[in-house]
C-alpha cells in the first residue's frame, strides 16, 4: 500500500509500507511506474494535514519524557520520515537512564503502531544523523558522552548532515559521500562551491556551533476555574458559579478575537467524580447571557452528589469571531441574532441533527431541486442559486407525494380538459404546457431511488386553472401509448 | 406526409455539443422522408464534407450551412444559395477564426451587416435564432438587421417541450409580423434519435468540465432535440403551418452543392503559350532520356504514352507540373526527396524525378494511382529530409501565397481510451480508478476483452458496478467522435481561387501556420487535389552521410549514382547486420533478413512488405519462406491466379495482390475491390468490412478455392487495414533500404555519424548506433570542448583495423562525438564554444571568458567529461566549474581572469574509479566509450556461471542458459498474442528473450521494472537467429549500484536471494540507464 501526492500534475508516491518497498517501489516514484511494477497496488491519497495532526499528538504524548519537545522541521517527505526532537537534559534519570528512556519510548511507539527509530547524542545534528542513518539493524543509537561525535558520524552518508538533496548530489559528484570525508577539506573552496549550509550543518552536528530548537507551542487554553471553600450543592449556587466563570471566559475570548463553538462545564465532586455539561452553538459566540441560557436548560440534570468542590469551564472548540462594534443602544446587531439563538436553543433541546435548512439543488426534477443540510453546516461554495435562463414558473407549494388524479385530456400530449381530485371534478379553463422533464438517468444505479409514485419515466407537466380560479400543477407520467391508460398526478399548487 | 426539412442540425463537429455523426443524421433524415437536411455546426464547416458524402449516399438533399454564433448579437443559421455566397460564408468564418485562438471563432454583428466580406448576406438565406429570453434588445436588434438585410431572412421557432412553447411561439410570431420576417420551424436537432440523450448529457459535462452530478441546469431538461418526422413537426406547429412550409421553401432556394468546389487547379506558368499537357509531355520524354541514356525500353515507352493519354483525359497535367516544380525546387536546394505511395506506380512520375521506382524493373499499376473509373484525384506523397521540410513548405507558401495554399487538417477523434478517461471523470470515477483502468485495460482489443472482469478486478474495482458498465458503454459510443482539429503532417491544398473561399481556414497551434477545416478524406470525397509534403528522417541521414563522404573522401554521391547490385551490401544484409538501416532495422526485420537472404533489389521490396500485419496475420510469411528455400513447391491455388502471384511464388504479400484476388478469385468488380480497400484503409473501422467478408469468402469458395485459403486471404486483407503496404510503396522504401545499407556497408563511420546527427529517428538510441559502429571497427572519440562541434564529425586517424567491407581509405576516419550527445546541452551554447575556440582552450575559465559559457553549460560539459584534453577528469573539471564566480561582484575585477583572482588551496578529491566514470558517462551521455557496465560487473555474473550474449552462438539448442544484460527494448507485437519480446545487451552483444504470457504473469514486475535483467531459460535457434525462452527472470538492477560503490562486486548466489540491504542503492539508477524503448 502507498499514499500519493500530486506534484506538478503528476501523482507521486509519498510514503509506502514495507510490502510496497519489497515490491520494488520507492518514495518519489510516479504512481504509473509503481503500478507497472505491481498492478494491484492499494493507493490512498496522502493527507499531510492528518499526518501533521498525528505527529502533533505524538509530540504531546512525548511530553511525558520532557516538557521540551519539538517537531523536526527537516524531516518529512522523502527525507527519512517525520521526526520529533526531545531535549532530555536532566530527565533521563527519572526513567532509569538514557537506555531505559529510549527503550520505553520505542516500546510505546511500537504499541501505538508506529515504526520508530531513535538517536541520542550531544547535539541535535548528531542525533538526527544517528537516528536516520545508524539505526538500520537496531532501533536506537546512542552516542555516549565519552566518544566524539566526529568519530561516530564519519562513516555515515552526507545526507546525515540535513543538507538539501541538491548539495548532497553535488558533493557525491566530487566523490564525497561520507561525512568524515569533508572534515579535513579546506573550507573556503568548499563554501565557495556549495554554500555556507554545509559548514553550518557540519559544525552543528559536531557541536562547534550552537543550534537552537523551538519547542512546540502550547495551544492557548480558554479556561476558568473556581474552587469553593465549602462544597456546594444547591442549584442556585451552581448557577451562580457558572455565571462567575462565564463572564471572565467571555472576556478572554473577546481579547483573543475568538468565539466558542463548544463549552464544557465540569463539576468536580468531593468523591472524585466529575459531572460534565456540554453545550454547542451553531455559530461562534461569546455572549454570556446566551451561553448561560443554553446551560440552564441542562443544569437541572446535574446531580451534585455529596457536594462540588471545584467548577471548571473550558472552551475546547473555538472559531475566530471578529470584534463587533455595538450600536448606540449597546446592543449587538440584531438581525440574525434571534434566529441563531433560536437555532441554538432548538439544537440544544432536540439535538443538532434535528435542525436543518433547505438549500437549492440544480436539478430539473422538482422533487430534487432542494436538499436539507444541518443548519450549522458551512455554506457550500459551489452553491448555485441560479435557475435556468428559461424555465416556466414553479408552484408555491410542492407535494412531497404526488397524488393520483383522473384526467380527461386529448392524446397524445394535449393539456387536461377535466380532472377529478378528492372526489371533486375540476373543469380546466386555462392550461399551459407540456413541460417535458426527462428522468435523471445517472440515478439509475439504485442509489437515489425515486420514491413511488415518482418514477423514472418522462413527465409532462401542465399548469392548469379550473373554473374557480384555483391553479394546479399536474403531470402525466410517460409518453402517450395507445395501449395504456395514462397515469396522471397532481404535484403542486400555484395559488 | 408533410414535407419538411430540418434546418437547425448540430452534428458532432460542433465539438461536445452534437451527439450524432453526420452519416447517422443523413440516414435518419432519409428514413423520416425529409425533403432535405441542413448542417449548421457552430461557426464551422468542418463536418460539411462528411455530411455531403452521407447525404449523397442516402439520396437526400443537403443544405450546406453553418450556425453563426456572434460575440455581440443573436445567432444565425446561414445557408449559401450559390458558389459565390458559399465562398463568402467561408471567408467570413476564416475572418472570425483568424482573429481568435486555435479552435475558436470571433464574429461580430458588424461583420455580417457592415463587413465587406459577407456583403450583408447577399446570396445567403439567413435564419435568425431568438435568444432564450425575448426582450426589447432583441426586438431592436431585429430592426437593425432588417435595415441592412431585406430578403431571405427568417425567424426560427422551436417546440421543445419547455412548457411555455406556445406562448413563446406566439410572442415570436407577433415579433415576426411586426418586422415582417417569415417564421420557420426548426427542431434544433443535436442528435438523430432521442436515444442519444445520455450521450448528449455526457458531452455537455465534458464541455463544461463538471461531473454529471454537478451538471444541473447545464443539461437540457429533456431529450427532444432530435430529428422528428414531418407529420410530428406539423402537429406541433399546427397553428403555424407556414413555418413548416418555409423549411421546404428554403430547401428549394439553397441548391448549392459542395461538388461545385471541384477543383480549378492552379496552372503553373507554361512557356510559349503551350498547354500544361504539352509541357508535361515534353518534360516526361526529356526525363526518359536522362533515365535511360541507352534508349528508352519499348515497354516503358508504351507505359508513358498510356499514362499521358489518361492524364490528358482527366486534365491532371497541371497537378503533375506543380509537384514537379516542388521537387525541382528541393533538388536545387540539395534537399533530398523521394515520392512514395501510389505515385510510384506512375512512370511519368519516375521520368519527372518525383519517384525512383524504375518501371523497367517493377510492374506498375497505373490504375492504382489514376483511373477514370475511380472518380477521385491522384495522391502524390513526397518525402523530404525531416530537418529541411520546412524550407519546402515555405517555398509553397511563397509561390502560391498563403491565401491559396494551406495545410489540411487531421480530425482528431476520441479513441476508446481517451473517451474512457473523460467519461469516467464525468461519471464521477476517481482519478485513481480511471488511471488504473486506462493503464490496465486492453484498449486495442474488441469490446469483450476490454471488459474482461479479471483485469478490472485486478485493479480493485467491481466489474459489475453499473456506473462502470455505463462508462464503458458510453466510451464506445463516443469513440470516433471528433474532438478537435489538428494539422496534418504535410498535406497541402493549393487552389487557383483564394483558398478561403473553398473552405474556412483557422489558426494552427504552431505559430505562423494555418490549417483548413477539412481532412484528407474530405478533400478526396470532394475531388480536391492535394500534395503530401512529408518528412523522412532517413533522407536527412543519407544527405548528411553524402556530405561527409564528399568532404572526407572526395566522392560525390546522389540517390541515383549509388552503385546498384553491390554484392557486399547484400552479404551484410543477409547476416542481419542492419542497425540503423532504413525500415529493416527492427528486431522482426533483423530476424527475417537471414531467413529471406535478399540478393536482389526485388528481394528488398519483399523484405519491406513481408514483416507487416497483413502477411503475418494472413499467415503468408512461412509459406513464402518455405517456397523460397525450395522446401515447398511453388503452386497456385488455381491457374487463374498465376499472373497475380507469380512474382511472389504463389503467396500474396502485397496489398494489390489481395485486391486482385478479390477480383479474379472472389468475383469482385474492380470498383467493389476498391470499396473493399477503402473499407479497410480509410474511415477507420466504420463496420463495413464484415459485409465484404462473407461476399469475399463465399465468392472464392464458389470459384473452387479451399475455405482455408479463402479465409487466409481475407485475414490478410484485414491485416492491411492496420497498415497497407502496396508494392509500389514497398519499392520506394526498398530504394532507401538499399541506399542506407550501402552506406553502412562501405562508409560505416560517415553513416553512423550522419545517423547520430539526424536523431531522433529510427529504432535505436545513440548508444546502440555507437556500439554498432565500434563493432564495425570505427573508432569513436569522446566529446571534448577542444575538438567537438555541435554535430558529430569525422576526424582523420592514422590506422584503424580495416574490417571486411571497409576500404582502407574509409578506415582512416573516426567519429568525434558532438555536443549534441550531451543531455540538456543547447545548440547555441555549443556553437558559441566552437566559434570562440581559436587555438583551443587551456583552462576551464577560458570557456567562460571567451565563449561566454554559463555555469550550467560548463557543468554539463564537465559531467560529460568533455575537458579531457585539458588533462582534467570530470571530477576535477566539475570542481573547477563549481569554483567559478557567478558574476563579477565588482567592476574593478572584471578584467582579471577568474582564476587569477586569488589562489585557492588545492583540494584533493577522491579518485574516480572506472565504475563511477561509466555511471557518470551514462548519466550525461546515455552511453559510455570507456566500458560497458556489464563488463565491470562481470565478476559477479561469472561467479554465477552466467553466459555472455556472444556465447549463445556456441550453445546447443534446448540447453538451459543463464545470462543478464541491460534492457534495450521491450515489445509486445500485436500479432503475437501477449508474448513479450525483450532485447538485452551486455558488453559482447545483444540477446533476444521471449517471455510467454504465463511467465509474464509471474514475473511482470521483473520484466517491466528491471534495468538490468537476468534470465534463465531454454535456448532456441532459427537459422542464425537465437532466442532465450525465459523460464525465470531476475531483477539485477541493484547491482548497478556497485558501479559507484567502493565495494568490489561480490558474487552473490543468484537464485531466490533478496537484494542485499547493505548496498547503497544508486539514487540515479533510473536516470542512468536510458529508458528502454518499450511497446512502440
Q: Which domains does chain A have, with CATH numbers?
A: 2-45 (3.40.1170), 95-206 (no CATH), 222-325+334-346 (3.30.1490.100), 397-493 (no CATH)
Instruction: For residue A184, give the chain B residue with the closest CA.
Output: B907
- B-chain residues near A388 (CB < 8 A): 217, 221
Minimum distance, in Å, between the CA of residue A362 and any CA atom of chain B: 4
pLDDT at position B482 over 80: yes
Task: Report the alpha-carbon distance of residue B162 to residue B132 in Å, rounded.
Answer: 11
Of the two residues B813 and A447, the one the predictor is more confident about is B813
Residue B701 neighbours by CB distance under 10 Å: 16
Q: What is the pLDDT of residues A209-254, one digit of tens each?
A: 888 777 765 555 788 888 888 899 888 889 999 999 999 999 888 8
Nearest to A364 among B214, B221, B910 (CB): B221
pLDDT, one tens digit per residue, over A262-273 is: 888 988 888 878
Q: What is the pLDDT of residues B268-313, one digit of tens each?
A: 777 777 888 888 999 999 999 988 888 888 888 988 998 899 888 8
Position B76 scores a pLDDT of 93
At B242, the pLDDT band (50, 70, 90 cuts) reads very high
Nearest residue on chain A to B910, alpha-carbon basis:
A175
Name the residue facing B909 among A36, A174, A444 (closest C-beta): A174
Q: Which residue has the higher pLDDT, A340 or B1014?
A: B1014
User: How far apart are the CA of A384 and the nearest CA of chain B, in angstroms?
Assistant: 9
Determine phi and psi for A207, rounding to 5 degrees.
90, 10
List, for residues B913-945, the tens digit of each pLDDT value. Answer: 888 888 888 888 888 888 888 888 888 888 888
At residue A273's C-alpha, the angle toward residues A271 and A277, to 5°, is 140
Give the integer Cα–Cα distance in Å for A244 and B230: 84
Q: Indicate if the pLDDT at residue B613 is higher than 90.
A: no
Q: Quote the pLDDT of residue B236.
A: 93
Q: How far, in Å, CA of B245 to CA of B969, rounded?
A: 67
Q: How far is B1040 from chain A (nearest CA, A)?
A: 15
Nearest-CA residue of chain B relative to A44? B432
Q: Tens digits of per-residue pLDDT, A86-98?
A: 888 888 888 888 8
Looking at the partner chain, which of A37, A186, A388 has a beta carbon nearest the beta carbon of B1005?
A: A37
**B198-202, B519-523, B530-534, B761-765: which has the highest mean pLDDT?**
B198-202
Cα–Cα distance, B41 to B47 (Å, whole number): 8
Q: Which three cell numbers stand for residue B1055?
A: 537464485
- Asked if A37 lies within 8 A of B163 by C-beta distance, the reply is no
Residue of B504, B426, B557 whose CA lies nearest to B94: B504
Name which of A36, A387, A461 is nearest B1009 (Cβ-Cβ): A36
Which of A129-133, A433-437, B19-23, B449-453 is least confident?
B449-453
CB atoms within 10 A of CB B390: 12
Give yes or no for residue B959 having a pLDDT over 60: yes
Looking at this predicted complex, what is its ipTM? 0.71
Nearest to B1059 by CA among A36, A22, A17: A22
Residues of B with Cβ-Cβ distance to A36 under 8 angstroms: 439, 1008-1009
Q: What is the per-residue pLDDT across B578-604, written as a single tens digit (0 to 9) for each?
A: 888 898 887 778 888 888 889 988 899
Residue A260 three-state SS: strand
Are the beta carbons of A442 and B213 separated by less than 8 Å?
yes
Q: What is the pTM of this model?
A: 0.73
CB contact under 8 A, B883 and A194: no
The Cα–Cα gap between B981 and B992 comes to 7
pLDDT one-digit tens code per residue, B655-700: 778 777 888 888 887 777 777 776 665 544 455 667 778 888 888 8
Greater model confidence, A342 or B901: A342
Question: What are the residue ranges of helices labelled H in B78-229?
Answer: 83-99, 109-113, 136-148, 165-178, 197-208, 212-215
pLDDT at residue B141, as a whole number:
92
Span B716-748, pLDDT tens digits:
777 665 555 778 788 888 889 999 999 999 899
Averaged pLDDT for residues A433-437: 91
Count CB-CB contacts under 10 A for residue B708: 9
**What is the sign, positive or negative, of the torsion defined by CA atoms of A40, A44, A45, A46?**
negative
Q: How confident is the model at residue B126 (pLDDT cuts 50, 70, 90)?
A: very high
| Lowest model confidence (mean pLDDT) among A25-34, B217-226, B713-722 | B713-722
B196: exposed, middle or buried (Cβ count in 10 Å: 0-12, 13-18, 19+): buried
Give the mean pLDDT of chain B. Answer: 84
**Block residue for cell numbers 474482461:** B452
Cβ-defined contact of B439 to A388 (cutoff 8 Å): no
Among candidates B1045, B827, B1072, which has minimal Cα distance to B927?
A: B1072
CA distance A190 to A145: 30
Q: Which of residues 429-488 of B touch A (CB under 8 A)?
A: 431-432, 435-436, 439-440, 458-460, 465-467
Q: pLDDT at position A30, please? A: 74
Residues A231, A268: Cα–Cα separation, whole Å: 10
From chain B, the residues in CB contact with A43 under 8 A are 432
* The pLDDT value given to residue B1075: 61
Q: Tens of pLDDT along A149-185?
A: 888 888 888 888 888 878 888 887 787 888 888 888 8
All residues of chain A having their beta carbon less than 8 Å from the beta carbon of residue B916 are 175
Interface subset of B 984-1013, CB within 8 angstroms of A? 1004-1005, 1008-1009
pLDDT at A9: 59
pLDDT at residue B1063 above 50? Answer: no
The pLDDT of B115-120, averaged and rounded, is: 86
Inter-chain touch B1005–A435, beta carbons under 8 Å: no
Lowest mean pLDDT among A5-19, B79-93, B1013-1027, B1047-1061: B1047-1061
pLDDT digits 0-9 by tens, A400-424: 889 999 999 998 888 999 999 988 9
> What integer pLDDT is reported at residue A383 of this predicted model?
58
Q: How far is B861 from chain A (nearest CA, A)?
A: 14
Residue B1054 has pLDDT above 50, yes or no: no
Query: In which residue are the cell numbers 560497458 written?
Result: B932
- Contacts B1008 to A, Cβ<8 Å: 36-37
* Cβ contact B133–A438 (<8 Å): no
B1075 interface with A at CB cutoff 8 Å: no
Pick the more confident residue, B440 or A452: A452
Q: What confidence score (pLDDT) does residue B1061 get?
A: 41
Q: What is the pLDDT of residue B1056?
A: 42
Write out pLDDT tens, residues A77-125.
555 567 888 888 888 888 888 888 888 888 888 888 888 888 888 888 8
Query: pLDDT value at position B917?
Result: 83
Amino acid at each position: 500500500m502507498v499514499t500519493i501526492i500530486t506534484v506538478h500534475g503528476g501523482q507521486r508516491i509519498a510514503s509506502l509500507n514495507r510490502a510496497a518497498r519489497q515490491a520494488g517501489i520507492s518514495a518519489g516514484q510516479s504512481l504509473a511506474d509503481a503500478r507497472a511494477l505491481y498492478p494491484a497496488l492499494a493507493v490512498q491519497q496522502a493527507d499531510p494535514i492528518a499526518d501533521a495532526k498525528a505527529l502533533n499528538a505524538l509530540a504531546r504524548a512525548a511530553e511525558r519524557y520532557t516538557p521540551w519537545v519539538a517537531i523536526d522541521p527537516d524531516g518529512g517527505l522523502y527525507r527519512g520520515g517525520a521526526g520529533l526532537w526531545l531535549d532530555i537534559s536532566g530527565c533521563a534519570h527519572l526513567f532509569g537512564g538514557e537506555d531505559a528512556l529510549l527503550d520505553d519510548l520505542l516500546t510505546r511507539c511500537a504499541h501505538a503502531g508506529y515504526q520508530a527509530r531513535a538517536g541520542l547524542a550531544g547535539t541535535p545534528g548528531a542525533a538526527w544523523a544517528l537516528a536516520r542513518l545508524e539505526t538500520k539493524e537496531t532501533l536506537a543509537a546512542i552516542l555516549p558522552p565519552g566518544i566524539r561525535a566526529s568519530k561516530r558520524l564519519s562513516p555515515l552518508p552526507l545526507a546525515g548532515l540535513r543538507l538539501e538533496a541538491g548539495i548532497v548530489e553535488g558533493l557525491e559528484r566530487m566523490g564525497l559521500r561520507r561525512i568524515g570525508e569533508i572534515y579535513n577539506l579546506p573550507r573556503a573552496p568548499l563554501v565557495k562551491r556549495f554554500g555556507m549550509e554545509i559548514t553550518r550543518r557540519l559544525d552543528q552536528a559536531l557541536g562547534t556551533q550552537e543550534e537552537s530548537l523551538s519547542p512546540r507551542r502550547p495551544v492557548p487554553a480558554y479556561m476558568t476555574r473556581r474552587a469553593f471553600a465549602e462544597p456546594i450543592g444547591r442549584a442556585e449556587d451552581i448557577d451562580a458559579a457558572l455565571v462567575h466563570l462565564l463572564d471572565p471566559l467571555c472576556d478572554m475570548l473577546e481579547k483573543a478575537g475568538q468565539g466558542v463553538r463548544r463549552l464544557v462545564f465540569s463539576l468536580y465532586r468531593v468523591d472524585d467524580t466529575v459531572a460534565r455539561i456540554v453545550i454547542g452553538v451553531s455559530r461562534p459566540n461569546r455572549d454570556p447571557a446566551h451561553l448561560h441560557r443554553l446551560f440552564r436548560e441542562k443544569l437541572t440534570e446535574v446531580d451534585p452528589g455529596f457536594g462540588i468542590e471545584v467548577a471548571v469551564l473550558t472552551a475546547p472548540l473555538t472559531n475566530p469571531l471578529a470584534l463587533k462594534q455595538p450600536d448606540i443602544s449597546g446592543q449587538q446587531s440584531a438581525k440574525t441574532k434571534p434566529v441563531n439563538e433560536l437555532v441554538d436553543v432548538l439544537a440544544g433541546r432536540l439535538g443538532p441533527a434535528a435542525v436543518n435548512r433547505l438549500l437549492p439543488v440544480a436539478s430539473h426534477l422538482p422533487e430534487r431541486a432542494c436538499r436539507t443540510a444541518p443548519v450549522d453546516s458551512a455554506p457550500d461554495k459551489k452553491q448555485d442559486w441560479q435557475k435556468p435562463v428559461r424555465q416556466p414558473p414553479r408552484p408555491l407549494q410542492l407535494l412531497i407525494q404526488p397524488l393520483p388524479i383522473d384526467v380527461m385530456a386529448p392524446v397524445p400530449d394535449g393539456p387536461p380538459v377535466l380532472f377529478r381530485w378528492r372526489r371533486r371534478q375540476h373543469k380546466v379553463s386555462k392550461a399551459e404546457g407540456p413541460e417535458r422533464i426527462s428522468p435523471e438517468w445517472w440515478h439509475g444505479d439504485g442509489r437515489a431511488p425515486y420514491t413511488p409514485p415518482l418514477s423514472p419515466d418522462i413527465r409532462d407537466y401542465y399548469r392548469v386553472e379550473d373554473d374557480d380560479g384555483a391553479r394546479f400543477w399536474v403531470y402525466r407520467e410517460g409518453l402517450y401509448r395507445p395501449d395504456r391508460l395514462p397515469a396522471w398526478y397532481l404535484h403542486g399548487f400555484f395559488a | 406526409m408533410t414535407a419538411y426539412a430540418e434546418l437547425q442540425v448540430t452534428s458532432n463537429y460542433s465539438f461536445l455539443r452534437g451527439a450524432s455523426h453526420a452519416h447517422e443524421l443523413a440516414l435518419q433524415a432519409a428514413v423520416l422522408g425529409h425533403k432535405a437536411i441542413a448542417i449548421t455546426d457552430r461557426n464551422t464547416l468542418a463536418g460539411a464534407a462528411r455530411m455531403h458524402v452521407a447525404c449523397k449516399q442516402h439520396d437526400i438533399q443537403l443544405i450546406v450551412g453553418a450556425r453563426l454564433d456572434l460575440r455581440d448579437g443573436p445567432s444565425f443559421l446561414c445557408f449559401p444559395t450559390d458558389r459565390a455566397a458559399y465562398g463568402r460564408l467561408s471567408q467570413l468564418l476564416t475572418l472570425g477564426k483568424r482573429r481568435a485562438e486555435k479552435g475558436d471563432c470571433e464574429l461580430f454583428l458588424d461583420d455580417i451587416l457592415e463587413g465587406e466580406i459577407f456583403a450583408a448576406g447577399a446570396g445567403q438565406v439567413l435564419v435568425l435564432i431568438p435568444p432564450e429570453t425575448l426582450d426589447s434588445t432583441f426586438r431592436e436588434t431585429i430592426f437593425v438587421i432588417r435595415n441592412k438585410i431585406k430578403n431571405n431572412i427568417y425567424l426560427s421557432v422551436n417546440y421543445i417541450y419547455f412548457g411555455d412553447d406556445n406562448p413563446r411561439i406566439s410572442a415570436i410570431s407577433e415579433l415576426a409580423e411586426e418586422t415582417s420576417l417569415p417564421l420557420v420551424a426548426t427542431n434544433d436537432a443535436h442528435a438523430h434519435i432521442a436515444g442519444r440523450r445520455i450521450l448528449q448529457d455526457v458531452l455537455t459535462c465534458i464541455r463544461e468540465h463538471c461531473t454529471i452530478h454537478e451538471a444541473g441546469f447545464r443539461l437540457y431538461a429533456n431529450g427532444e432535440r432530435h430529428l422528428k418526422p414531418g407529420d410530428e413537426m406539423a402537429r406541433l406547429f399546427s397553428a403555424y403551418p407556414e413555418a413548416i412550409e418555409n423549411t421546404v421553401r428554403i430547401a428549394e432556394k439553397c441548391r448549392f452543392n459542395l461538388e461545385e468546389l471541384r477543383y480549378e487547379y492552379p496552372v503553373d506558368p507554361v512557356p510559349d503559350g503551350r498547354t500544361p499537357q504539352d509541357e508535361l509531355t515534353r518534360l516526361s520524354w526529356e526525363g526518359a532520356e536522362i533515365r535511360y541514356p541507352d534508349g528508352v525500353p519499348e515497354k516503358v515507352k508504351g507505359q508513358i504514352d498510356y499514362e499521358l493519354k489518361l492524364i490528358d483525359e482527366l486534365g491532371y497535367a497541371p497537378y503533375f507540373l506543380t509537384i514537379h516544380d516542388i521537387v525541382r525546387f528541393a533538388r536545387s536546394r540539395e534537399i533530398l526527396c523521394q515520392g512514395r505511395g501510389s505515385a510510384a506506380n506512375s512512370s511519368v512520375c519516375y521520368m519527372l524525378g518525383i519517384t525512383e521506382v524504375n518501371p523497367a524493373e517493377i510492374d506498375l499499376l497505373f490504375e492504382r494511382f489514376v483511373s477514370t473509373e475511380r472518380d477521385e484525384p491522384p495522391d502524390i506523397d513526397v518525402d523530404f529530409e525531416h530537418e529541411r521540410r520546412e524550407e519546402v513548405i515555405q517555398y509553397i507558401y511563397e509561390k502560391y501565397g498563403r491565401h491559396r495554399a494551406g495545410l489540411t487538417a487531421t480530425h482528431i477523434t476520441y479513441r476508446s481510451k481517451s473517451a474512457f478517461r473523460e467519461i469516467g471523470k464525468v461519471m464521477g470515477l476517481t482519478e485513481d480508478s480511471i488511471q488504473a483502468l486506462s493503464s490496465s485495460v486492453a484498449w486495442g482489443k474488441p469490446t469483450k476483452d476490454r471488459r474482461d472482469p479479471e483485469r478490472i478486478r485486478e485493479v480493485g474495482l467491481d466489474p459489475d458496478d453499473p456506473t462502470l458498465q455505463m462508462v464503458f458503454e458510453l466510451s464506445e459510443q463516443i469513440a470516433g467522435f471528433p474532438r478537435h482539429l489538428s494539422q496534418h503532417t504535410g498535406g497541402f491544398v493549393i487552389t487557383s481561387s483564394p483558398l478561403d473561399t473553398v473552405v474556412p481556414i483557422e489558426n494552427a497551434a504552431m505559430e505562423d501556420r494555418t490549417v483548413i477545416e477539412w481532412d484528407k478524406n474530405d478533400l478526396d470525397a470532394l475531388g480536391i487535389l492535394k500534395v503530401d509534403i512529408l518528412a523522412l528522417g532517413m533522407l536527412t541521414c543519407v544527405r548528411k552521410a553524402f556530405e561527409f563522404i564528399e568532404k572526407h573522401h572526395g566522392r560525390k554521391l546522389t540517390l541515383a549514382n549509388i552503385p546498384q547490385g553491390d554484392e557486399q551490401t547484400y552479404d551484410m544484409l543477409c547476416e542481419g547486420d542492419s542497425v540503423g538501416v532504413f525500415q529493416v532495422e527492427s528486431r522482426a526485420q533483423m530476424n527475417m533478413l537471414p531467413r529471406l537472404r535478399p540478393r536482389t533489389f526485388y528481394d528488398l521490396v519483399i523484405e519491406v512488405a513481408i514483416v507487416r500485419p497483413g502477411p503475418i496475420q494472413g499467415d503468408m510469411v512461412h509459406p513464402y519462406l518455405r517456397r523460397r528455400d525450395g522446401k515447398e513447391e511453388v503452386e497456385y491455388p488455381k491457374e487463374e491466379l498465376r499472373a497475380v502471384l507469380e512474382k511472389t511464388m504463389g503467396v500474396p504479400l502485397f496489398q494489390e495482390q489481395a485486391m486482385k484476388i478479390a477480383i479474379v478469385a472472389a468475383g469482385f468488380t474492380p470498383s467493389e475491390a476498391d470499396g473493399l480497400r477503402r473499407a479497410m484503409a480509410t474511415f477507420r473501422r466504420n463496420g463495413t468490412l464484415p459485409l465484404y467478408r462473407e461476399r469475399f469468402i463465399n465468392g472464392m469458395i464458389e470459384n473452387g478455392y479451399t475455405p482455408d485459403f479463402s479465409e487466409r486471404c481475407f485475414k490478410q486483407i484485414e491485416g492491411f487495414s492496420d497498415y497497407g503496404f502496396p508494392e509500389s510503396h514497398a519499392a520506394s522504401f526498398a530504394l532507401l533500404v538499399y541506399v542506407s545499407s550501402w552506406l553502412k556497408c562501405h562508409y560505416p563511420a560517415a553513416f553512423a555519424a550522419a545517423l547520430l546527427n539526424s536523431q531522433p529517428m529510427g529504432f535505436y538510441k545513440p548508444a546502440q548506433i555507437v556500439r554498432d559502429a565500434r563493432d564495425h571497427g570505427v573508432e569513436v572519440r569522446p566529446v571534448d570542448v577542444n575538438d567537438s562541434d555541435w554535430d558529430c564529425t569525422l576526424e582523420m586517424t592514422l590506422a584503424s583495423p580495416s574490417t571486411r567491407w571497409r576500404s582502407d581509405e574509409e578506415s582512416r576516419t573516426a567519429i568525434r562525438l558532438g555536443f549534441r550527445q550531451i543531455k540538456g546541452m543547447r545548440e547555441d551554447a555549443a556553437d558559441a564554444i566552437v566559434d570562440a575556440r581559436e587555438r583551443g582552450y587551456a583552462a576551464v575559465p577560458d570557456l567562460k571568458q571567451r565563449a561566454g559559457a554559463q555555469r550550467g553549460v560548463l557543468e554539463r560539459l564537465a559531467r560529460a567529461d568533455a575537458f579531457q584534453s585539458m588533462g582534467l577528469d570530470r571530477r576535477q573539471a566539475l570542481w573547477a566549474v563549481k569554483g567559478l564566480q557567478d558574476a563579477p561582484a565588482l567592476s574593478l575585477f572584471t578584467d582579471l581572469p577568474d582564476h587569477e583572482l586569488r589562489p585557492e588551496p588545492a583540494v584533493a578529491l577522491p579518485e574516480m574509479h572506472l565504475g563511477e566514470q561509466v555511471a557518470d558517462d551514462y548519466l550525461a551521455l546515455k552511453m559510455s566509450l570507456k566500458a560497458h557496465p556489464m563488463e565491470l560487473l562481470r565478476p559477479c555474473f561469472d561467479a554465477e556461471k552466467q553466459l555472455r550474449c556472444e556465447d549463445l552462438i556456441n550453445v546447443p539448442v534446448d540447453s538451459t542458459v543463464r545470462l543478464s544484460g541491460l534492457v534495450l527494448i521491450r515489445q509486445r507485437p500485436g500479432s503475437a498474442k501477449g508474448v513479450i519480446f525483450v532485447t538485452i545487451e551486455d558488453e559482447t552483444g545483444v540477446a533476444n528473450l521471449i517471455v510467454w504470457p504465463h511467465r509474464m504473469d509471474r514475473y511482470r514486475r521483473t520484466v517491466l521494472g528491471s534495468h538490468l535483467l537476468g534470465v534463465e531459460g531454454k535456448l532456441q535457434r532459427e537459422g542464425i537467429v537465437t532466442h532465450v525462452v525465459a523460464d525465470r527472470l531476475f531483477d539485477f538492477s541493484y547491482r548497478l549500484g556497485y558501479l559507484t560503490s567502493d565495494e568490489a562486486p561480490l558474487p552473490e548466489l543468484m537464485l531466490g536471494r533478496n537484494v542485499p540491504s547493505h548496498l547503497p542503492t544508486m539514487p540515479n539508477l533510473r536516470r542512468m540507464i536510458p529508458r528502454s524503448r518499450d511497446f512502440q
